[in-house]
Amino acid sequence: MSKEFTGINLITEDPFTEPTNRSYKQEDESNLFYSHKSYLSTESDFTSPSIMCTPTPKEYRVINLLNKGVLNIVGKVAYHEVYSHINKTNTGDEFKKLGFLKEKLRTPVKKESSLKILFLEDEELTHCESDSELSIERKESFMDDSIENYIKEQLFIHKRHIDKLKQWTGLTKYRIIYNTEIDEFTTLAFNKKINGRSNLTFVILTSDKWVFGCFSQARIPKIKESEESVGPEDKGFFVFSLKNPHHTTATKIIPRIQSSRLVFYPKNSAQLFGVQNAFLISNHPNESFVFRNIDQHYSIPSLVGKELLTGNCYPEIFNTEKVLVIEWF
């Protein structure tokens, strides 16, 4: 980027909502970065917000409405004009030493040190490099309404679906531990996120916008590296449908006779995971499917029948577009 910032002065006393800076530019156009979504950079793993060009303002006001965090500034900065909002002293050398601001910043700010300089008085801050991480690196004591708003705005399920999942699971606190919009859509990345965890909801979005999934109460065993792994019998297990073109209400589907088991696959497999006698999810296009005898093993309380989940059954297949895994507490 060719834009140059020649100075920044943090002047807010409220680090939670209004970090404000004054900037004077040498050019007639400014690049302001704002987004409540994340977009994967093609140059690195850093998720960068979108760019919005505006006329040159005399003052920039950046408001973080979701959570405490760090503003990643792109451009040239005069280090000698960067000040601490606590003691108003020159901290340019410290910023240089940390590499906090660089001419072409395309990598995340160092988590362990950046906030100590900006907000020295608060030792309890949780650092997130982008809004996409807010629901992942949030503490277990996060506010329930904050993550619900995040899910409502950012993801393909809504608050009414979360309310249904709360009702079905009997749990109210949760966090997203795997999201294919952020995490790699690979079996390796998936296995790393779920290994050893319990009370997980797996939510699948098809390319035709059907939304369904399952809930596993039992703890996920260590997944084998060279062969399939089968989870323990799970009496709390159930399958569900959340959204479909028939506009049926969210539906909980329980096993008919015996408890069900999840099936997991080696890290290099094209299969992401499966549910015995229910469905198989693949990370390859058009390789996922619902078992044609699912209605023999699960009580499906719908006139739509066994096509309630995706609109078809094997040998017909569907494409898995997105996957979420939500951990409940």
pLDDT for residue 154: 55
Q: Are strands 279-282 and 51-55 parallel, antiparallel or unpaired?
A: unpaired
List, as one string, the DSSP characters of 292-328.
Answer: TTHHHHEE--STTGGGTTTS--TTS-B-EEEEEEEEE
pLDDT for residue 260: 79
Average pLDDT, the chain: 69
Phi (first) and psi of residue 311, to 5 degrees: 90, 0
Local confidence band at 258 (pLDDT 50, 70, 90 cut-offs): confident
Structure token pair of residue 240: 């569900």
List, as one string, the DSSP characters of 122-142.
Answer: -S-----SSGGGTTTSS-TT-
What is the SS3 assignment for 95?
A: helix
Q: For the chain, what are the domain ranges? A: 1-134, 138-328
Greater model confidence, 307 or 105? 307
Lowest mean pLDDT, pick from 47-56, 62-71, 233-242: 47-56
What is the SS3 assignment for 73?
A: coil
pLDDT for residue 45: 41
pLDDT for residue 289: 98
Residues near 71 by beta carbon (within 8 Å), at least 6 away in sequence: 19, 62, 64
d(C-alpha 1, C-alpha 101), whole Å: 14
Residues near 19 by beta carbon (within 8 Å), at least 6 away in sequence: 10, 12, 62, 64, 71, 118
User: For 277-302, how does the pLDDT look when each residue is reduced to its tens digit (9 = 90+)?
Assistant: 999 999 999 999 999 999 999 999 87
pLDDT at 197 over 90: yes
Directed axis angle between helix 144-154 and helix 159-169, to 10°? 130
d(C-alpha 278, C-alpha 202), whole Å: 13
- The structure's pTM equals 0.56
Q: Are strands 238-243 and 200-206 parallel, antiparallel or unpaired?
A: unpaired
CB distance 146 to 173 below 8 Å:
no
Local confidence band at 199 (pLDDT 50, 70, 90 cut-offs): very high
Instruction: Look up tokens 């029948």; give the residue.
Output: 305
pLDDT for residue 157: 80
CB distance 196 to 185 below 8 Å:
no
Tell me how far apart the terminal alpha carbons of the chain are, to the nearest angstrom: 44
pLDDT for residue 72: 54
Half-sphere exposure of 42 toward its Cβ, with a 13 Å CA cutoff?
A: 1
pLDDT for residue 286: 95
